Structure 1
């Protein structure tokens, strides 16, 4: 299985369970791996035959910045489902990090893996 990935994509978003968090934008960090068969693109050299990294990044930016989110879990699930549906990969592994959210920790977050049955 081939994987197309983006590392350390930073997006500003409103997210958090506390009322004060729902009033501020904060930086989130994303790592994304999409399982995809890249053999056709390798032969053709045509971006239309593979996953466009910029389109993936723009999709994540749009979802994250669209509305306030309460939990990273909700945001991660929505992004994973959208990436699988829109880009047709076999699987997605998504890390969403919230730097500085907990005193003494560089980052907290969630890692989810989803795939088509």
Structure 2
């Protein structure tokens, strides 16, 4: 299986368990690896047969813009399910980093893998 990736996509969303977090938007950094068969797109040089990472990135940003979750885990699960359903992705790995959530760390978060390779 081929892989399409998007690294370091920064999105703003409402995320957090503390009251003060519920009233602000915070940045999350996303790394996505998506299982996709690139052969049909490459054979015809046809974007319509490719997993269009520009369109996918816009969808991720729209999801984040509308999201209001307490847990990064919930954000990751819901986003993974949405991408698999809307884009027909069979397998993905998603890393969600919340910078600054722990003062002594560059970032904390979760990494999930869903679907079958």
SS at match of 2:76: helix
Residue 70 of structure 1 corresponds to 70
Question: Which structure 2 segments of 5+ residues have no match?
Answer: none
Residues 90-115 of structure 1: CA deviation (Å, up to 9, x unaligned): 20100010000001000001000001
Deviation at 1:79, TM superposition (A): 0.7
1:101 corresponding residue in structure 2: 101
Does residue 1:4 correspond to 2:19, yes or no?
no
Q: 2:46 aligns to what?
A: 46
Write the deviation string for residues 61-111 of structure 1: whole angstroms up to 9, x where unpaired: 111110321101111011101111111122010001000000100000100
**Structure 1 spans left out of the alignment, 5+ residues:** none
Over the residues paired in the alignment, what is the CA RMSD in angstroms?
A: 1.2
Per the alignment, residue 34 of structure 1 pairs with 34
Q: Does residue 1:17 correspond to 2:17, yes or no?
A: yes
Q: Normalization by structure 2: what TM-score?
A: 0.95
* Structure 2 Cα separation of the partners of residues 37 and 67 of structure 1: 30
Structure 1 segments of 4+ aligned residues over 4 angstroms from their partners: none
| CA-to-aligned-CA distance 1:16-56 (integer Å, 9 cap, x gap) | 00110001111100000110111001101000001111111
| TM-score where L is the length of structure 1 | 0.95
